[in-house]
Amino acid sequence: MNSQQEFVLRAVEERDIRFIRLWFTDILGYLKSVVMAPSELESAFEEGVGFDGSAIEGFSRISEADTIALPDPSTFQILPLDPPDSGLQTARMFCDITMPDGQPSWADPRQVLRRQVEQAAEEGFTCMVSPEIEFYLFSGRDDEGRPIAADRGGYFDQANHNYAPKFRREAMMMLEAMSIPVEFSHHETAPGQQEIDLRHADVLTMSDSIMTFRYLIKQVALRSGVQATFMPKPFKDHAGSAMHSHISLFEGDQNAFHDPDDEYSLSDTAKHFIAGILHHAPEISAVTNQWTNSYKRIVFGAEAPTSATWGVSNRSALVRVPTYRLAKADSRRVEVRSVDSACNPYLAYSVLLGAGLKGIREGYELGEPAEDNISDLTRRERRAMGYVDLPFSLDQALRKLERSELMAEVLGEHVFEYFLRAKWQEWHYYQEQITPWELDNNLDY
């Protein structure tokens, strides 16, 4: 038993933890959980917890259903949802999914990301990520089933007559209690829309934090008498919810993206990384924007990227290079703006990291930055300027993904094939729907 496992066992005893939640995600990013008694924890560290993998979508076939959830002691945190004297203290740990012979499961999104982390390490890099996570709060539904925004605030509003100030304050406290540092929190542009930005961490830790974030945000919302949604675009007339992700690569303590002699303080490594993301952006889209609703945000959302472009301070570009603190080496980063808040973070960061690393390995050249507001350009104007459009629907995105050798390699054959199969099924179900718009406009024909 290693020191981290011993620390967890002591903490459980000393803090009188009554329940241990073991967490993992399925391929589409749904959080899964099993609760165990503290008395079973030591054996769980040694042998894992067996479960029926065939009951989890995309994990195992019935003929090979035995699957192991192996707790990662480095992710141990006490959930701050119950008072210390309640007798209900609960902790959580993320799990790595393995087969009975101890081999990593090819279906585990956490293992998919770990492979890319190890690939980056072999090339001398550590990937750091800081996301800006947007979401909506709604107070109920109207007679037609549409959500009702919980407030009428706008960008940076100090709203005094709604749930938002108290909600964000409590959410920040709970996140900090679980060692998930928050940089900023504020009201976003649309009624009911919030944003909370997390302080940078290594990409695997950050993916765990995002999954925890979603769980806690929903719990805090319920306590405040509202509901939270990470749906990419729940309102027709308001902006969608993104998860703009600031990414940098470090070589030891040095930021590999920083070059003080460059006009934008961008190193060649950073430029090749950006070029890799832009080159592979169409085939990445189905993973970073995995729902049919994701493309309502991309096509009709304010400041959502529609083309594979980069820009300096240009918020309409797919990859933005922030100009804050250009001379500060640790701050040099790139912001990927396509990712939405409903992605599976393990898979989304896997494909972004995989594409960026390929750009570095093969020395992809980076073109000139976009200076236009790309959102205002027509498709013909974008093409005339040499911009490559991103997919406008899940259908288009899946066609790009299924032809991608790089994505098959990054995701692994099992995840790649299951993801395509599940998402094509979703698209076909979506096509079958008869919408209120169709009935309003076509029924009397």
Q: Check if the beta carbon of residue 22 is closer than 8 Å to that of residue 93.
A: yes
Torsion of CA 304, 308, 309, 314, to 10 degrees: 10
One digit per residue, the tens of pLDDT, for the chain of length 445 reads 789 999 999 999 999 999 999 999 999 999 999 999 999 999 999 988 887 666 666 565 433 456 889 999 999 999 998 887 777 899 999 999 998 888 888 889 999 999 999 999 999 999 999 999 999 999 999 988 899 998 887 776 666 555 556 888 899 999 999 999 999 888 888 999 999 999 999 999 999 999 999 999 999 999 888 999 999 999 999 999 999 999 999 999 999 999 999 989 999 999 999 999 999 999 999 999 999 999 999 988 777 899 999 999 888 899 999 887 777 888 889 999 999 999 999 999 999 999 999 999 999 999 999 888 887 777 888 888 888 999 999 999 999 999 999 999 999 999 999 999 999 999 999 999 999 999 999 999 9
Residue ending a domain, choose from 73, 102, 131: 102
The answer to the question of residue 196 being in a domain is yes
The answer to the question of residue 444 being in a domain is no
Alpha helices in 224-327 (DSSP H): 268-288, 294-300
The answer to the question of residue 443 being in a domain is no
377, 276: one domain: yes
The CATH code of the domain that includes 205 is: 3.30.590.10
44, 144: one domain: no
96, 228: one domain: no
Rounded CA-CA distance 345/180 in Å is: 16
175, 93: one domain: no
The answer to the question of residue 366 being in a domain is yes
- Any bridge partners for residue 404, and if so which? none
81, 153: one domain: no
Residue with tokens 């996570």: 133
pLDDT value of residue 86: 79
Query: The domain containing residue 221 runs over which residues?
Result: 115-438
Q: Exposed (0-12), middle (13-18) or buried (19+): which is 262, by Cβ within 10 Å?
A: middle
Rounded CA-CA distance 89/158 in Å is: 34
121, 96: one domain: no
Residue ending a domain, choose from 102, 131, 153: 102
The CATH code of the domain that includes 88 is: 3.10.20.70
pLDDT value of residue 331: 83
Number of domains in the chain: 2
The answer to the question of residue 107 being in a domain is no
Q: Kindly give, in sequence order, each residue whose CB lies less than 8 Å from that of residue 37, ignoring residues fewer than 6 positions away.
A: 18, 19, 20
Pairing of strands 19-25, 90-98: parallel
Rounded CA-CA distance 373/250 in Å is: 31
74, 167: one domain: no
Per-residue tokens: 48: 């894992």
CA angle in degrees (0–180, nearest 5) for 7-9-10 = 65
pLDDT value of residue 64: 46
Torsion-angle region of 206 (φ positive above 0: left; ψ -120 to 50: alpha; else: beta): alpha
The answer to the question of residue 172 being in a domain is yes
The answer to the question of residue 7 being in a domain is yes
Residue ending a domain, choose from 54, 76, 102: 102
Torsion-angle region of 98 (φ positive above 0: left; ψ -120 to 50: alpha; else: beta): beta
Coil vs helix vs strand at 39 = helix
Rounded CA-CA distance 146/136 in Å is: 13
Q: Which residue type sits at 155? A: Y
220, 316: one domain: yes
20, 87: one domain: yes
169, 277: one domain: yes
Rounded CA-CA distance 194/189 in Å is: 8
| Single pTM value for the model | 0.94
331, 261: one domain: yes
pLDDT value of residue 371: 82
268, 358: one domain: yes
Q: Kindly give, in sequence order, each residue whose CB lies less than 8 Å from that of residue 282, ignoring residues fewer than 6 positions away.
A: 308, 388, 389, 390, 391, 397, 400
The answer to the question of residue 108 being in a domain is no
